[in-house]
Amino acid sequence: MPKPGSMPSRRKPSVDLAMTAVLLALSGQSQAADPARGRALLAERQTSQCALCHPIPGTPAYLQGDLAPDLRGIASRLSPAEIRHHLTDPDPASIMPSYSRTSGLINPGRLYLNRPILPEAAIDDIVAYLTTLTDPP
Ligand code: HEC
């Protein structure tokens, strides 16, 4: 029984999903790309960081970034390969980071020395989710 007045300790399901995705990806298990995991990761500020810059569909307004384009309807503008390219090889003039590159980075934080921001499987999951966003705002 929790003490009276104590906060319930359940974590949000989206965070659990994102953590599961990252743990699975880090454990090297190959899995089919899963849009539900991609959706959870996209909204997870600490892991994917997408929401620091982008407005993310379905998240509360105060958690959404406004430095980058709205991703709603992205699949009506870009093919899955083009979406993936944005994550792996973004325009060097853009503040959007590469999620897979480990070399040629400008002053990467120590956390990201010789390691990509996200494992390949997590990138696949995010692309699988973004590919479902066909309705423009
Ligand atoms: C530091 C800020 C920043 C972060 C973090 C970031 N982005 Fe971006 N992103 C941008 C900016 C700015 C643009 C627009 C310029 C460009 O196309 O590079 C952009 C463009 C894009 C585009 C192309 C959008 C279009 O309409 O053409 C996609 C797709 C995208 N980002 C996905 C993501 C995803 C998915 C993540 C997280 C895994 C992410 N971004 C993280 C800043 C960011």
The pLDDT tens digits for 61-102 are 888 899 999 999 999 999 999 999 999 999 989 999 999 999
Ligand 1 centroid–CA 14 distance in Å is: 21
Nearest alpha-carbon partner for 123 in 80, 67, 92: 80
48 lines ligand 1 (CB under 6 A): yes
pLDDT at 116: 95
**Considering all CA atoms of the chain, what is the largest pairwise distance in Å, rounded to the nearest integer?**
54
Average of per-residue pLDDT across 30-57: 91
The CATH class of the 13-130 domain is: mainly alpha
pLDDT greater at residue 62 or residue 20: 62
Closest atom of ligand 1 to 49 CA is 5
* Model pLDDT for residues 101-129, shown as the tens digit of each residue: 999 888 888 988 999 999 999 999 999 99
Model-level pTM?
0.82
The answer to whether residue 4 scores a pLDDT higher than 60 is: no
Closest atom of ligand 1 to 90 CA is 18
Nearest alpha-carbon partner for 70 in 42, 97, 47, 36: 42
Nearest CA to ligand 1 atom 25: 69
Q: Which residues of 26-37 are buried (b: 16+ CB within 10 A; e: fewer)?
A: eeeeeeebbbeb
127 lines ligand 1 (CB under 6 A): no
Q: Collect all residues with Cβ–Cβ distance below 8 Å to 84 and sequence separation of at least 6.
A: 123, 127
The answer to whether residue 12 scores a pLDDT higher than 80 is: no
pLDDT greater at residue 81 or residue 57: 81
Average of per-residue pLDDT across 38-43: 94
The answer to whether residue 9 scores a pLDDT higher than 60 is: no
